[in-house]
Amino acid sequence: MAEVLLDVRDLCRSFRRTKDVFVKAVDGVSFQIYEGEVFGLVGESGSGKSTVARCVMNIVRPQTGHILYKGVDVWDRAQFRANRRMLQTDRQIIFQDSASSLDPRMRAADIIAEPMAVNHIVPPRGTLRAEAEFQMRYVGLAPSYLDRYPPELSGGQRQRVAIARALAMEPSLLVADEPISALDVSMQAQIINLFRHLQDEHGFTFLFIAHDLSVVRYLCDRMGVLYRGKLVELARTEELFDAPLHPYTKALLSAIPIPDRRRERARPLYRFDEAGFDCRGTFAEVRPGHFVLQREEAGG
């Protein structure tokens, strides 16, 4: 049995909208990611996916709940301090928009090597430059790009630089927050295949956040569906696609086009009643490993 690498427990985070209006961005979310697994998190825009990722990465502080990484409570000040180096090297994040997450005034080589330099990591390949070159080749970029600045790179090239920078730290956990949605389709496929390779060959653990369900289906072992800050369903990817149980998941999946036109036409389009969504309820295991947010029994 694989070990739990990341344990998200009852995570809550609200943001202030106006003076006295708060939005519950993440509302009691719990899930675990096992070592070597690709865990997908899906949900419409604003459902709280990035907030979960940011809490996991010590970027946004949860109001309540815990995030345990390798058993370390990452938002506990003393535990964070005692494990700072491990937490800063072992978890890496790749953002959707590398144009804004990469410093435009730094060359690709320096961008890739920076986290190693900051963390005083001795480059396994001799110099930081050699390390940057190795990682660059690894993600499929020619070393001739090493001296380019981000604005001189295409979106896909920039995203590879961001991935190379993360990989240089030899992390155990990669959090990828919609890493491909800014790219064109052929570039998306290349990056997805790179992720697949990383997982197959190197056993990386991923928290993979996406809008695109077909990508999640291809890449993820298990997945969770977020709706308005609530996890409404969680299961093995296959099972979730074959037998979704929550009305929101059903609606989400029924909106994916099927390549076969006859089957496409025969399929009922499932509508989800947003107004009827009851955010109360219990997240119950209805089949082994398959969890659904269920309504509280009336009068129960």
Q: How far is the CB of 130 from Mg ion (least distance, A)?
A: 35
Two tokens at 94?
A: 């790749």
Instruction: Return the number of other C-beta atoms located less than 10 Å from residue 78's C-beta.
Output: 8
Task: Tell me whether strands 205-210 and 173-177 are parallel, antiparallel or unpaired.
Answer: parallel
Query: Is residue 14 helix, strand or coil?
Result: strand
Total residues at interface with Mg ion (CB under 5 A): 2
Q: Rounded to whole angstroms, how far apart are CA atoms 252 and 57?
A: 27
The CA dihedral of 60, 62, 66, 68, to the nearest 10 degrees, is: 0
| C-alpha closest to that of 75 among 120, 2, 13, 168 | 13
Q: How far is the CB of 91 from ligand ATP (least distance, A)?
A: 18
Closer by beta carbon to ligand ATP, 55 or else 192: 55
Closer by beta carbon to Mg ion, 61 or else 120: 61
230 binds, among Mg ion, ligand ATP, none (CB under 5 to 8 A by kind): none
Closer by beta carbon to ligand ATP, 52 or else 167: 52
Closer by beta carbon to ligand ATP, 50 or else 188: 50
- Binding region for Mg ion (CB under 5 A) out of 30-38, 50-58, 81-89, 281-289: 50-58
- Binding region for Mg ion (CB under 5 A) out of 1-9, 42-50, 132-140, 160-168: 42-50
Under the criterion CB under 5 A, does residue 50 sit at the interface with Mg ion? Answer: yes
171 binds, among ligand ATP, Mg ion, none (CB under 5 to 8 A by kind): none
Angle at which helices 155-168 and 108-118 cross, to 10°: 20
Give contact residues for ligand ATP (rule: CB under 6 A): 15, 23, 25, 43, 45-51
249 binds, among ligand ATP, Mg ion, none (CB under 5 to 8 A by kind): none
DSSP helix, strand, coil percent of the chain (3-state; round to 5): 35, 25, 35
DSSP code at position 214: H
Q: How far is the CB of 174 from ligand ATP (least distance, A)?
A: 17
Find where tokens 């800050």 sit: 229
Query: Is residue 15 helix, strand or coil?
Result: strand
- Cβ–Cβ < 8 Å for 143, 92: no
Closer by beta carbon to Mg ion, 24 or else 148: 24
Closer by beta carbon to ligand ATP, 46 or else 104: 46
Under the criterion CB under 5 A, does residue 47 sit at the interface with Mg ion? Answer: no
Q: Rounded to whole angstroms, how far apart are CA atoms 79 and 266?
A: 55
Residue nearest Mg ion (C-beta atom): 50
Q: Which residues bind Mg ion (CB under 5 A)?
A: 49-50
